[in-house]
A and B are shown apart, each in its own frame.
Chain A
Amino acid sequence: TQLLEQSPQFLSIQEGENLTVYCNSSSVFSSLQWYRQEPGEGPVLLVTVVTGGEVKKLKRLTFQFGDARKDSSLHITAAQPGDTGLYLCAGSLSGSARQLTFGSGTQLTVLP
């Protein structure tokens, strides 16, 4: 059983559409991170959220940390083909980078 459940597992949309992906857990995390990974490459950190209820924006990407710090969402507005990739959430139970727990990811494909 995954400590962090991501949904959907796969998502294919047309350019210009909006989408939301989710990261859920029954555990409380000190912090939660979102990464994007492209084929044949390592994950690249997009954002870290620390405070319950926190919302962070990165251009067309909006990240939210649940009030109880058990879940998070990533919303993309007007998706572009360049957004295609594997989106991973990762939680830290201890507040430390060591032993980040990763979800299994959402594979996003944005069709032109």
Chain B
Amino acid sequence: NAGVMQNPRHLVRRRGQEARLRCSPMKGHSHVYWYRQLPEEGLKFMVYLQKENIIDESGMPKERFSAEFPKEGPSILRIQQVVRGDSAAYFCASSRTSGGEKLFFGSGTQLSVL
């Protein structure tokens, strides 16, 4: 887990507010992945990004969710107008390449929607 930094660790939002989750990949890693984990479920792929590009967003809900990985700064997962069903742990992972090598996960952001 060392090196992938996610913040905040815990985020509480009321229905209708926006949630912004940040992820700084490990040094030297240019590939970022976002996963969502619901209680007693495995991690579900959401989106895969490289610097300034969204490569695969097939796991992202079509509305309210967006992700970016700018040239400078962390990757951001943004959820607009949150609903209770968005409550989950959101994990970011990074890798040096996309070629099936080791993924390093952050400690996650636990989003709670009241």
Question: What residues of chain A have their CB less than 8 Å away from a CB belonging to chain B?
Answer: 2, 4, 9, 30-31, 40-45, 48, 88, 90, 92, 95-105
Q: Distance in Å from the Cβ of A96 to the closest Cβ of chain B?
A: 5
B31 located at the interface, meaning its Cβ lies under 8 Å from any Cβ of chain A in the complex? yes
How many A-B pairs fall under 8 Å by CB? 75
Secondary structure of the A side of the interface?
Answer: loop
A42–B107 CA distance with the chains assembled, in angstroms: 4
- Chain A proximity of B54: nearest CB distance (Å): 12
9 A/B residue pairs, CB under 8 Å, sorted by A: A2-B42, A4-B42, A40-B108, A45-B103, A95-B100, A97-B33, A99-B59, A103-B42, A104-B40
Q: How far is the CB of A82 from chain B (nearest CB, A)?
A: 16
Which residues from chain B sit less than 8 Å from chain A, CB to CB? 1, 4, 31, 33, 35, 40-45, 48, 55-56, 58-59, 91, 93, 95, 97-108, 110
Instruction: Find the residue from A31, A45, A92 having the highest chain B CB count within 10 A.
Output: A45
Query: Of all chain A residues, which has the CB nearest B10?
Result: A40
In the complex, which residues of chain A have a beta carbon less than 8 angstroms from the beta carbon of B58?
Answer: 99
Cα separation A102 to B38 with both chains bound (whole Å): 12
Please, how many angstroms separate the alpha-carbon atoms of A9 and B98 in the complex? 30
User: A42 to B105, Cβ gap below 8 A?
Assistant: yes
Give the distance in Å from the alpha carbon of A92 to the alpha carbon of B98 in the complex: 12
Query: A42 near B102 (CB under 8 angstroms)?
Result: no
